[in-house]
Structure 1
Amino acid sequence: MKLCVGPNRLTCASKHNNMNMCPNKREAVEASSSNLLHPETECLSCDFVSAVISRYIRRSQDQLRTGRDECLDDVEMDNTEPSSQSCEQMNILILSGLHISRPGPEGGLKGLFSNVTELYLRHNLFISWEDVATITSQFPRLDLLDMTGNRLKPPNDPFSLQRAFQFITRLVLGDMCYTWLDVLVCSILRPQLTELYCTNNSITTINSPSPDIFSHLQVLDLSRNNITCWEQVNNLGRLSSLRYLNLQDCSLQDITFPDCCIGEKSELFPTLSRLNLSDNSIRSWQHVAELDKQPALRELRLMRNPLDEGQKQDYIREMIIVNVGGIIKLNGSHLGPNERKNCEMSYLWKYYPEWLCAERESKGSQQLLKQFMKSHPRFEPTGIELRSPCHRQPDCESDTLDHAAFEAGNNFKILEIHVVGSLPHFRLTSRSH
């Protein structure tokens, strides 16, 4: 089961078509669950045990039928009858928006719901992690806990509560006004987390976590936090298991991996394969090209950033593909069989005159060429990647060019450019000549 967390509700990946990991279609369940208490008690807080009994045990058959119609396919509601057998069969409890503030009578659910693996307590009135620990300790198989929208104070002694969270691998802390330090304190509750969702909090700075925290973390969602500076993001670069990082809508203005140069691979984020950078303030293609330093990056979302504003989306897509050489999926769609080659050839053809002008006018100083390479850091590496073992000759009769005869870099210099079909053909010589 995958999660995506928004500021006000649990949303569907299919609805937003984003890279967030979320449970399929639970909004209808949450909407119905918020109205299950009697009207005269809606404004009063209740305890967890009472809410569970009201939600899952005391519902009439009419209520069950209505709830079943409102619910979506992935939530099992058919067997929610007042029997211990049906309770044993349930693995998901959704108790969002029910004004729950405390655990309730000790042992009130003893012997019931022993197979529950997911517990959703979004937008309730909890303020103490000790109370939450009392609840989670009743579910020996609990794997996912969603506390979004509760104003929980970070625990004073998280180590004393670890036993109550020992099986949880997925934790959702969205919309809780937490700073990164608060998140680190809460992570002590369960250092072996594999997925952590902290969307829409008060995270502006990020301290490097200690080696014993997040050593198993594969998914981290920090979307909708005001982080702004990539230097803070790099403090997460030593997370050795991280596969997916969501930084959507974080006001990020730059991307940089200062530990290596263009054409080299960074030691930061060695296993990161999926990255979401949509809805930020990234303006420079030079910063986009920094992502080419990521050795494992294969999927990227980079929508709604002010990159060449006014340009067509096809051009933006082409430039992203050119600048990030390893990706196979961009903004949710896989690259076509020849899409990368076509984009790179088009890019070389488009910017070759500018490169040639800079090359000719730089002469001894190389100043213009350096400026060009700063603006187009992937120009020469792209040419190297497109080189063919069997270069075509300029008088080739074919009306297409299957491989680029283009080699560049420190050891080569472009002398001539010819057109075969609609694509460029480069003739090279060693720079020593």
Structure 2
Amino acid sequence: MADSSVCVGSRCLCDGYYGTIHFIGAVPPTSGVWLGVEWDDPSRGKHSGEHEGVVYFKTRVSGSGSFVRLKKVFLGCTFMEAVRSKYGRTDDEEGGIMLGGQTVELVGMDKVARKQSEWSQLEEVSLRDMDVSSAGPRAEIATALPNLKRLNLDQSPLLPNWETVSDIASQLQHLDSLDLSEDRGLGHVPVDLMESLSASFLTLRTLYLNRVGISWNNLALILQAVPRLEAVHVCENNIASLRFEGDEKPYIPEGLQLLNLEKNCLSDWSDIVRLEPQLKKLKTLILTDNRLPSIFLEKKAFPELKSLSLSGNLISQWPSVTSLASVPSMLQLKLKDCPLLKDEPGFSARHLIIALLPHITTLNRSAISARERVLSERYYIKHYGAKWLDCKSDESAKKAFLLEHPLFLHLVDVHGLPDEVLMRQKPVTTALKHGLISVSVRCPGRPEQRSLDKKLPATMTVQKLKGVLQRVYRVDTSDQRLSYLDSRGDCEIQLDDDLKQLNFFSIESGDTILLRW
């Protein structure tokens, strides 16, 4: 950026610190021009915008401001300067083009034609961490990159505002995907810029705004400006509520298929429910690592939802899981690392979730086979069978049980009730005297993990073994990859079927089980 284009609101870099310029002018009794900067990292600041009792600007964070000389700061580069730096430049002595680290020597007008043709073929450009701060001369981008569809401006901390984004996007007539993650100047969306943004985003379908500090109200303005939007990612923005100012419902593009709100601060499921009428075409909803204590889905809600991610929330009751069965279109679920599953071994939690949700085909990225579903449903009956037996003679207790386990009787109709003795059987806590195999467990490539010598029942399934290893090594069962070496150490065999018993793979005493993740 040229010095003449410095203005209040510009972003700058000084000695490794990024900031926003809030003041340009004299600061008596010193001479010359000073820049008043509020730093992203408050520890870089010295005051809040005042000097000798005079307030020149105000900082949002107390003590995060200071004055610096213009010559001390870097103000970034134009969009095409960044493109030339990364994708081709003409700075060698003979005037050749630098492409892929090699100089291509061209003559006369061929130089320009070749360089432009190389850029004109680009459909994807990544200027991540290239310190782009302005669009540059009007139409320069449109002329050089007429076919660009996917643009990554992730980590462009000198990008000052949405007006600059609009200036860039308006020149890309085929722009389909735009990544603006970690661009801290984009937290505020001026209402008077809406018309310009709408004209710039006519073709945009995918937008990334992760870690930009944007609120739900400002995001709602952006959604209004992108009518064809199909996917929006707004992770780690400290969004605590999805309610619009004035309790109005924000406009959401009718074609939105993916909404990613991972790692925010949402704690009220009703916020999601309020948006449901506007999300009829939503296929993927990502709510990982929020603060939701419970969820409830009614029948016909989210009619096209196929994938739901709820891991890392505060869900603590099984009815939250049971309600997901009311969405028959949902095939994929991610649910782990929540209080509900804290006391359940990995294999047990997986069995219970699968039994409750007859429509899902994938749980925590692991496919569910027909055989696993049968085993899960039978496990569910046995798991709650004793409780059912205890309340059968008490109508009120029976009613409460069926309210909590609405699928129990249906599963009993399908599989029948096990023997009462089997349902009341306590988990085995003493070592079996017979049918045990002595194995070692090692974690290749992870020297910090201790080896383990263990006696295991030959009839133990791989899934149950994963549950044991989860408790020992704190590795989720869905992330484990198991194999074993025979006692001679010359043959490694994959344990690739969770439902098979160890003796199916011919594991014997003296063999070594290898755990990778």
- Normalised by the length of structure 2, the TM-score is 0.59
Q: Is the CA contact (8 Å cut-off) linking 1:230 and 1:252 kept in structure 2?
A: yes
Note the alpha carbon deviations across 1:343-397, whole angstroms, 9 max, x for none: 111211332221121011x1xxx2212332344333224335x2xxxxxxxxxxx
Q: Which residue of 1 aligns with 2:122?
A: 90
Q: Which residue of 1 aligns with 2:217?
A: 181
Size of the alignment, in residue pairs? 332
1:194 aligns with 2:230: yes
Q: Percent identity?
A: 28
Deviation at 1:227, TM superposition (A): 0.2
1:305 aligns with 2:338: yes
Structure 1 stretch 299-308 or stretch 167-176: which is displaced more? 299-308
Cα distance in 1, alignment partners of residues 332 and 387 from structure 2: 31
Cα distance in 2, alignment partners of residues 230 and 55 from structure 1: 45
Task: Look at both structures and tell me which one has the larger radius of gyration over its CA atoms.
Answer: 2
Q: State the secondary structure of the residue aligned to 2:151.
A: strand
Deviation at 1:186, TM superposition (A): 0.5
Deviation at 1:313, TM superposition (A): 0.5
Cα distance in 2, alignment partners of residues 110 and 309 from structure 1: 54
Q: Alpha carbons of 1:86 and 1:177: their partners in 2 closer, same or farther (altered >3 Å)?
A: same
- 274, 280, 292: which one aligns with 2:325: 292
- 361, 364, 367: which one aligns with 2:396: 367
Q: Which residue of 1 aligns with 2:266?
A: 227
Q: 2:289 corresponds to which letter in structure 1?
A: D
Cα distance in 2, alignment partners of residues 117 and 164 from structure 1: 13
| Higher normalized strand content (fraction of residues) | 2
Q: Is the CA contact (8 Å cut-off) linking 1:96 and 1:123 kept in structure 2?
A: yes
Note the alpha carbon deviations across 1:301-354, whole angstroms, 9 max, x for none: 112222242432100100110122210111101101211111111211332221
Q: Which residue of 2 aligns with 1:53?
A: 84
Once the two structures are superposed, the pairs formed by residues 374-393 of structure 1 within 5 Å of their partners are: 374-384=403-413, 386=414
Once the two structures are superposed, the pairs formed by residues 11-90 of structure 1 within 5 Å of their partners are: 43-58=74-89, 64-65=99-100, 83-90=115-122
Q: State the secondary structure of the residue aligned to 1:338.
A: helix
Cα distance in 2, alignment partners of residues 93 and 82 from structure 1: 18
Q: Which residue of 2 aligns with 1:256?
A: 296
Q: 1:311 corresponds to which letter in structure 2?
A: E
Q: Is the CA contact (8 Å cut-off) linking 2:383 and 2:423 kept in structure 1?
A: no
Deviation at 1:187, TM superposition (A): 0.8
Q: Is the CA contact (8 Å cut-off) linking 2:122 and 2:147 kept in structure 1?
A: yes
Deviation at 1:224, TM superposition (A): 0.7
Cα distance in 1, alignment partners of residues 409 and 98 from structure 2: 67
1:108 aligns with 2:144: no
Cα distance in 2, alignment partners of residues 198 and 301 from structure 1: 19
Q: State the secondary structure of the residue aligned to 2:293.
A: coil
Cα distance in 1, alignment partners of residues 253 and 175 from structure 2: 19
Q: Which residue of 2 aligns with 1:28?
A: none
Cα distance in 1, alignment partners of residues 383 and 161 from structure 2: 60
Q: 1:114 corresponds to which letter in structure 2?
A: P
Query: Over aligned residue pairs, what C-alpha RMSD do you find?
Result: 2.8
Q: Alpha carbons of 1:62 and 1:135: their partners in 2 closer, same or farther (altered >3 Å)?
A: closer
Q: Is the CA contact (8 Å cut-off) linking 1:58 and 1:82 kept in structure 2?
A: no
Cα distance in 2, alignment partners of residues 282 and 358 from structure 1: 26
Q: Which runs of 5+ in 1 are unaligned?
A: 1-39, 68-80, 260-265, 387-403, 407-416, 425-433
Q: Is the CA contact (8 Å cut-off) linking 2:141 and 2:172 kept in structure 1?
A: no
Cα distance in 1, alignment partners of residues 174 and 160 from structure 2: 24
- 164, 168, 171: which one aligns with 2:204: 168
Q: Alpha carbons of 1:423 and 1:351: their partners in 2 closer, same or farther (altered >3 Å)?
A: closer
Q: 1:339 corresponds to which letter in structure 2?
A: E
Q: Which runs of 5+ in 2 are unaligned?
A: 1-70, 103-112, 425-517
Higher RCO (C-alpha under 8 Å, 6+ residues apart): 1
Cα distance in 2, alignment partners of residues 110 and 164 from structure 1: 12
